[in-house]
Amino acid sequence: MRERKQTGIVWCPSIPVNWEIRRVKEIFYISKVKAGIKNPTVLKLARSGIQVKDVTINEGQMAESYDDYNPVQIGDLLLNPMDLYSGANCNVSEVEGVISPAYVNLRAKQAVNPFYFDYYFKVQYWTMAMFAHGKGVSFDNRWTINAENVKGYEIPFPTIEEQNAIVGIIKRKCAQIDNLIANQEQQIAKLKTYKQSLITETVTRGLNPDAPMKDSGYEFIGSIPVNCEICRLRNIGTPQNGISKSGEHFGTGYPFVSYGDIYRNYTLPDTVNGLVETTEAERKQYSVQKGDIFFTRTSETIEEVGFSCVCEKTIPDATFAGFVIRIRPFNEKLITQFAKYYFRGNHHRFYLAKEMNIVTRASLGQSLLKSMPVLVPPVEEQQAIADYLDQKCSQIDKLIFLKQQKIEKLQQYKKSLIYEYVTGKREM
């Protein structure tokens, strides 16, 4: 291992003896020029790189004018000084254009490899080193590092030859790691697709492959066992939209079932994180009881509407979100364990996507939900299907979890690899 020297910097305690420690302002200047041009190429800073922004659609925050935007040259290093909490918000631009003056645009004063410094700043975001130099109202919202602190930031400075070599080896090794991650992600996607097809096939066809079948009368359901019936959801339960409250009512009070609680889960957790101030009358009207079936009601995209979740255990004093519809069963046609899987099937999603009207937001109305055809097997078969899917889905979920753990380990290894190369700990 080559000889190292101490730097006195907490987040970079030592570097090779032939490296220097410099400040950002010695290597870069912050470009603050105003574009003042018509019809510029507008850019945005994304985790995956600097991208051209489509200003013809309402994509993110739109500016009335781009005259004050900052011109970006190829090789400029852009930092987001306003978000020091959620990840690596920096990248080197490989396109020319203009970008919001809210970002810090570092342009080199001398011959350097900007990708080396990009990797170093990514490490600063990951390790929360930049966070220590920020100020703001709250840690996770607009915690900002100002321009003077950026200019005074201490960074290691290898020779240009070493910068180039480090960038080259990081790119090669990260490409290999990214390929491994992509492979795991593809396997997870296949497992999720298999899980969905298994659920759909089982809840509509049953467990007996030799059972006599009949036409359901609905293309999206297809053939069904002869011992099953079809009814409308209105014949099973009564709909109720969730509670609507202004922001100041949230954060304290009684349990609150959010949109995310429904979207992410097949079954509601026994306790939820949300809190809201409610009256006794509201807690009665918007209660969350064992047997209730919930559907996501509205979203920006149709892909997130109509996801279901059941309640298998009453949450005392809880209410549920306004972007959610509750179906409260008034008979025992569907058991809760079967409903948990039935309404998560692809056939159910296909029906809602086909019938839903979209204007500016995708929205699921009570009338459409009440008219939705529902396949109802005998109760004992519903229980057998639910037990079978509990076992099979648990096995699939375990495989998915193991692959997600592999991805997390690969991502952590990638970060540590970058850290070791940009600080000279790992030799090339």
Three-state helix/strand/coil letters over the chain: CCCEEEEEECCEEEEECCCEEEEHHHHEEECCCCCCCCCCCEEEEECCEEEECCCCCCCCCCCCCCCCCEEECCCCEEECCCCCCCCCCEEECCCCEEECCCCEEEEECCCCCHHHHHHHHHHHHHCCCCHHHCECCECCECCECCHHHHHCCEEEECCHHHHHHHHHHHHHHHHHHHHHHHHHHHHHHHHHHHHHHHHHHHHHHCCCCCCCEEECCCCCCCEEECCCEEEEHHHCEEEEECECCCHHHEEEEEEEECHHHHHHCCECCCCCCEEECCCHHHHHHCCCCCCCEEEECEECCHHHCCCEEECCCCCCCCEEECCEEEEEECCCCCCHHHHHHHCCCHHHHHHHHHHCCECCCEECCHHHHHHCEEEECCHHHHHHHHHHHHHHHHHHHHHHHHHHHHHHHHHHHHHHHHHHHHCCCCCC
pLDDT of residue 89: 84
Report the pLDDT value the prediction gives residue 87, as an integer from 0 to 100.
Answer: 66
As a CATH number, domain 229-376 is 3.90.220.20
pLDDT value at residue 359: 45
**What pLDDT does residue 362 have?**
63
Taking domain 160-201+378-428, whether its CATH number is 1.10.287.1120 is answered by yes
At residue 18, the pLDDT reads 94
Q: Which fold has domain 4-158?
A: Adenine-n6-DNA-methyltransferase TaqI; Chain A, domain 2 (3.90.220)
User: What pLDDT sits at residue 145?
Assistant: 86
Q: Average pLDDT of the chain? A: 89
pLDDT along the chain (428 residues), means of 10: 87 92 95 81 87 70 73 93 76 93 93 96 88 68 81 95 97 97 98 95 93 89 91 94 92 94 94 94 96 86 80 96 94 95 87 64 78 94 97 98 98 96 89
Domain boundaries, the chain: 4-158, 160-201+378-428, 229-376
Same fold, 4-158 and 160-201+378-428: no
